[in-house]
Structures are given as structure tokens and as C-alpha cells.
Amino acid sequence: MIRTARPADLDAITALHTRARATYYRGRVPEETYTGEPHRAQAREAWSRAVARPAAEGGVLCAERDGEVTGVAAFRTAHGETTLTQLHVDPVHWRRGTGAALHAACLDAWRRAGIERVRLEVYTHNLRAQAFYATRGWLPDPGPAPARSGSHLTLWLTVSGE
């Protein structure tokens, strides 16, 4: 089931976020940047702000199975641009359709809001995520080289009216 995130979900979302990021950051960035209490407190605060945002400024969606949060997606609209800021599935729930369901729910929300184009940044070394997004129509900027923001690749999706 996909539903809107609630403040009561913050601890579960923060823990899931930390586990998911560890799968692609481990061995590539210092562990203290994605684990430990300082990281958890910072992540929880960021998720708290996202959950509290007015619907016109974005949304946070949770995938839930048997009462457990198994995935989370967040998007934000600011200055006329919508960004998929997070999409994480708990690694123990990979390959079960959770990410696809979250992505489809985001698309539905964007269509209802009349959003035509969405941006995201994906970690350069997260090839699993890049493949996931590519199969859903996300493309790099059509310039001579893929747009990068530090260690991330910028992708765009044109939202169709389907």
C-alpha cells in the first residue's frame, strides 16, 4: 500500500533511509556521513520538514506492508521546478515492486498537480538506481556530457498525461 507519510513514520523513515544509503555509499564515502547518531538526527529533521510541507510544495509517500514502512519517496516543488529528492526501498524489500509502486504514485501526484517535468540527482556510483530510473524514462540532459552536481548525475523525466 502507498500512502502519505505521517509524523509518526519519522523514525521508520529515518532508519530505512540510513539502511538504503549504506548500500551504495559503503566503501565510497566516509561511514560517519551516513551512519551514527549525528546523521540520524540530521536525516530525521530533514524528513520532518518534508513531511510537514504543504501539498503545493511537494509530498512524502510511504510504501507499507503488514504495518511496516518498506519504502519512501519525497518530492519538492520550489521556484517552478519539481525535484524527486528521495526514493528509497528498504534493502530487505528490494525486487518486490516497492520502488515501482512508489514511482507510479509520484507520477500520479505530478500529473494531478499539472507538473510536466521533474528532476532528480542520483549518486554516480549507484548503478542500481540509475538502471531503475532509466527503465522509467528518466534521461540525462541532452548536452554533450551528462549534467553532474558533484558526485551525482542529474536526470530529467517528462511527465506524460497518461
Instruction: Give residue-wise pLDDT tens across range 72-107.
Output: 999 999 999 999 999 999 999 989 999 999 999 999
pLDDT digits (tens, 9 = 90+) for 100-143: 999 999 999 999 999 999 999 988 888 889 999 999 999 987 66
Calculate the CA dihedral of residues 4, 155, 122, 137 and round it to 10 degrees: 70
Domain ranges within the chain, ordered by starting residue: 2-158
Superfamily the domain 2-158 falls into? Gcn5-related N-acetyltransferase (GNAT) (3.40.630.30)
Residues 6+ apart with CB under 8 A from 1: 63, 64, 65
What pTM value is reported for the model? 0.87
